[in-house]
Structure formats: C-alpha cells, structure tokens
A and B are shown apart, each in its own frame.
Chain A
C-alpha cells in the first residue's frame, strides 16, 4: 500500500496542471493516485476507465471533498458518444495514469485520442465533421467553436 502511495505521489508530481481546467484522469487502477490527486487539487475530477467496475463502484461511495468529488465513468474504447455528454462545454485536461494501462494500452490510447479529438477514425472525428460550422475550415478544431473570435484565434495560431 505504501509503495502504491509513493508511486501515486511521484505520478502527481510529474503532472503539469493547466489552471481552470476540469481534470480527467484516464486509468483507475487501484485508485490510490485518484485519492492523491483529490487531496492536492481543487475542482471537479472525472475518472475514466474501461475496466474495473468493482473498484469504480467502491470509489464512487467514498467521501471526498464535495468540490473535488471524483466522478467515475466506465467507458469502452471508441464509445465516444458516452464521453461527449460528460464533458460537453467543459475545458478539460486529460491526465494519463499509465501504470494501470498494461495489456490495455491500445484501448486507453483510443480513449485518450477520442477525448482530445485527435483520433481520426473514431466517432469523435465523425462527430467533429457533423458539428463543423459552415466556414471554410479544414481543421477539426472548429467544432463547438462557432464564435468568430475563436475561429480567428484558430487562424492565428496556425
């Protein structure tokens, strides 16, 4: 247990957290790193893992700081439609908890790419194209960005 805590602590220290972002932890594992994360941050946390339903259930029942209460979701790789409503309208940052990705790396990477809108073949891409506003844009990053200023910013950083 102590060993897991040390590992969780080291993992947290390596992270770069962007202010004012909803934090999404990809990978539940034994959940110690989630406790560590909740202890050291403020704001809502989402934890996504395609496996471990029992651990997820256990953690859902734990009492956390009401602000940082982590919300758990069990999502299968590629099922982007499940993730989208969860994070709709939020500015979020995905943190990878790689120690628990063993044997499921591909699934986790697919979820990571879907969350970050960087998977070209999953539902996220289809969703992006469907949602694309009627502008002459070739970038998927225009999704949800109908605001002129955001579009301008997109041009600007390219």
Chain B
C-alpha cells in the first residue's frame, strides 16, 4: 500500500506531521509512506528518510524562479512540474492525505491521481473537503486569527482516523542544555539581550552543566557578535536532532526545534510570544512547559508585523522568571512532579489538556 502525505508548510509543521506518520504506521503496518515537501526544505530529507520510504521535493521555488527568468522558456516551470508529477505517480497511489490545507496543496491534490484522497482538494472548478467533519474544524479554526480548543496533531489524527499518543519527555541526566533563541518571525523572538543574560545566569547557576546556544548556519552571523564562538553550536537540523537526543533540556522560542525535541523526547521549555499559539502548535510532549505572555493582543496574526509601539509580550517575561523556572524544572525527576516553584506568578503559563475523548469533544465542538 502506498500512502503519500502532503506536508507543504514549514519545517516545524512537517516535524509535527511525523506524529501522523507514526499513527498511520500503526493502522497500516505494511504501508509505504511518502512525503511531499517544498523544495526549499531539502535539508529535511535525511531526518524524514528515517521514518518514511521516500521524500519528494515539490519544485515550487525552482518553478517560481524560472517564471521570473527571461532566459528560460515561459512554459519551462509547467514542463518541470509535469515531469515531477509523472515521477511521483510512477506507481499507483492508494491514499493521498493533504496535511497542509493551503491553495497550493489543494491544487496539487487535484492533480494527483489516487484511489483515495483525504483533505482539501481543488480541481475542475471545485473546492472540496474530502473526509470527516474534522476537516471543517481544521479549516475554520486553524486559519490565522482563530482559536482552537485542540492541538493541530490531535485534529489531524481525527481527520486521518488514526490514534496518535502523546509521548512523555525523558528525564535525562546528561548535564547538557541547549538554548535556541531565534525563531522564524521577529514577533516570536524574545529579545536577544535577554537570551544573553539568561545564558550567563544559567552558566553561573549551573556550573556542572554544558550549556550551548544553538544556531543554524544562517543564524550564525546574527548570534556571533553576542555570544562567543565556543558558546555557539552551529548545527544542521540533522545534527541538532542528534544533539537533542542526549540533552536534558531545550529552552527555545516557538521554533521547529521544539517539534524536533518532541521527536527526541527532550524536555522543552518554550517561550510563546507574538503569534505563537501553544494550544494549536505547542510541543506535543507530556512534560514540556510553555511560558506564554499574557498580552491582550496575543496570539496575533502571524502574517502581520507587531502593531504595538513596543513588543509588549516579549517585555512581559523576565529573565529571572525563565531562570527560576528552568532551575526548578531541572530538579524534577518526574514529569508529574513538576510545579512552578517560585515561578507561579509567571504570566499565563499555559497547560494543554490532551484530547481524551475526541469523539465526545467533537460532538460538542462541531
């Protein structure tokens, strides 16, 4: 059985979709599961290839560049996309699932031939939602500016009619902590000066720990002036996954690394600012903690810049609060015994209720 999953958002979303892969493997143990991702995220291939049979790179960036290029034929992007489609459909697809719900993924669903389809499909002048009522919930609640009562993975698992179990974070004793300061969006960034102070304070408070600041090769230049070279760990995503496997704690903004840490079952302390909505897309891992600012404008629209005169949500969380929380978090030896000692005055520490009885919740919700 050949199952193709369309995962055409950003890296963090694709990381979350790996939970769906696990659920599908349980339901269809003999299935070959394949991913379609955007070509700009080719660095994901080594990571994804561990869990799926094949990863197809949708040549979106390539096609967009060719459209603009005067030296290539106007139809070249179409030829390339046609070639790509032919290759993807070289053998029959039994089930294709759109985990993305964007216009591009909808059109692609319309073009792909498969015995069964689940998700948004656009084609022949029609826009269809093929599947159960949870698709409508996803469409109505996961657009920017709308709230959801359920985590993205819980909703997707209902759409795919599979069981996805939230894993528990592992309590490790490796004495290694990673900090990931930069996110993909300025609104979600805590001030770099605060990250620097937090790093310094953590090093003083926990001398027995190896504490490193994670940076992708692209982020290095932004962090290099603030942190010493030996304080930085410049890693590819694949290398970061390996590093997180032995880490005791990750302190991060809302980044793809949070979802990578879910895969490696690494305890995570996430600072949710700006458009970050931890109910929808927080770490899907029992034992992880999300510190969410309580600004009235939060969570804001992820497509627009912050409209406040200053970054209110970022300013409302102090270094001392995160430091206290991190120290007390590390002292816990079980995910259940953690409480906010000395940190209970934190602004809106969010707790998420796992979806215990989805069908019951669905009846209330839909």
Chain A residues within 8 Å of B, Cβ to Cβ: 18, 20-21, 91-94, 96, 112-113, 115-118, 140-141, 143-145, 148-150, 152-158
Q: What residues of chain B lie closer than 8 Å to A156, measured between beta carbons?
A: 81, 103-104, 107-108, 111
Question: Is B206 at the interface (CB under 8 A from chain A)?
Answer: no
Give the number of A-B contacts (CB < 8 Å).
69
Knowing A94-B71, A148-B124, the reply to whether A153 touches B82 (Cβ < 8 A) is: yes
Q: How far is the CB of A110 from chain B (nearest CB, A)?
A: 12
Query: Once the chains bind, are A157 and B73 in contact (CB under 8 Å)?
Result: no
Chain B interface residue count: which class?
A: 20 to 34
Q: How far is the CB of B323 from chain A (nearest CB, A)?
A: 48
**Given A20-B83, A92-B73, 18 new contacts (CB under 8 A):** A91-B73, A91-B79, A93-B73, A112-B71, A115-B73, A116-B70, A116-B71, A117-B75, A118-B70, A141-B78, A145-B75, A152-B107, A152-B110, A153-B107, A153-B111, A156-B108, A157-B78, A158-B67
Nearest A residue to B123 via CB reads: A152
Question: A91, A96, A115 — which one has the most chain B CB atoms within 10 A of its CB?
Answer: A91
Nearest B residue to A157 via CB reads: B63
Question: Is B172 at the interface (CB under 8 A from chain A)?
Answer: no
Alpha-carbon gap, A140 to B75, bound state (A):
9
Query: Once the chains bind, are A113 and B70 in contact (CB under 8 Å)?
Result: yes
Q: Residue B107 contacts which of A92, A94, A116, A155 (CB distance < 8 angstroms)? A: A155
Question: A93, A143, A145, A152 — which one has the most chain B CB atoms within 10 A of its CB?
Answer: A152
Nearest A residue to B81 via CB reads: A153
Query: Once the chains bind, are A145 and B78 in contact (CB under 8 Å)?
Result: yes
Within 8 A of A (CB), among B74-114: 74-83, 85, 103-104, 107-108, 110-111
Nearest B residue to A109 via CB reads: B70
Q: What residues of chain B lie closer than 8 Å to A20, measured between beta carbons?
A: 83
Question: B70, B74, B103, B108 — which one has the most chain A CB atoms within 10 A of its CB?
Answer: B74
Query: Once the chains bind, are B74 and A117 in contact (CB under 8 Å)?
Result: yes
Query: Once the chains bind, are B123 and A141 in contact (CB under 8 Å)?
Result: no
Q: Residue A157 contacts which of B60, B70, B72 (CB distance < 8 angstroms)? A: B60
Q: How far is the CB of A124 from chain B (nearest CB, A)?
A: 9
Query: Once the chains bind, are B111 and A149 in contact (CB under 8 Å)?
Result: yes
Query: Once the chains bind, are A116 and B78 in contact (CB under 8 Å)?
Result: no
Question: Is B336 at the interface (CB under 8 A from chain A)?
Answer: no
Q: What residues of chain B lie closer than 8 Å to A118, measured between beta carbons?
A: 70, 74
Alpha-carbon gap, A152 to B73, bound state (A):
18
Alpha-carbon gap, A150 to B60, bound state (A):
15
Nearest A residue to B67 via CB reads: A157
Q: How far is the CB of B202 from chain A (nearest CB, A)?
A: 47
Q: What residues of chain A lie closer than 8 Å to B73, measured between beta carbons?
A: 91-94, 115-117
Query: Once the chains bind, are B76 and A153 in contact (CB under 8 Å)?
Result: no
Question: Is B337 at the interface (CB under 8 A from chain A)?
Answer: no
Q: What residues of chain B lie closer than 8 Å to A92, measured between beta carbons?
A: 73
Query: Once the chains bind, are B72 and A116 in contact (CB under 8 Å)?
Result: yes
Q: Residue B74 contacts which of A21, A140, A152, A155 (CB distance < 8 angstroms)? A: A140
Nearest A residue to B124 via CB reads: A148
Question: Is B64 at the interface (CB under 8 A from chain A)?
Answer: yes
Q: Residue B64 contacts which of A21, A91, A157 (CB distance < 8 angstroms)? A: A157
Alpha-carbon gap, A41 to B253, bound state (A):
51
Nearest A residue to B77 via CB reads: A157
Which are the 4 A-B pairs with shortest beta-carbon distances? Answer: A117-B74, A156-B107, A157-B63, A153-B81
Query: Once the chains bind, are A93 and B123 in contact (CB under 8 Å)?
Result: no
Q: What residues of chain B lie closer than 8 Å to A94, measured between beta carbons?
A: 71, 73
Knowing A156-B108, A157-B67, the reply to whether A150 touches B76 (Cβ < 8 A) is: no
Nearest A residue to B75 via CB reads: A141
Question: B79, B80, B110 — which one has the most chain A CB atoms within 10 A of its CB?
Answer: B79
Q: What residues of chain A lie closer than 8 Å to B108, measured between beta carbons?
A: 156
Q: How far is the CB of B129 from chain A (nearest CB, A)?
A: 18
Q: What residues of chain B lie closer than 8 Å to A112, measured between beta carbons?
A: 70-71
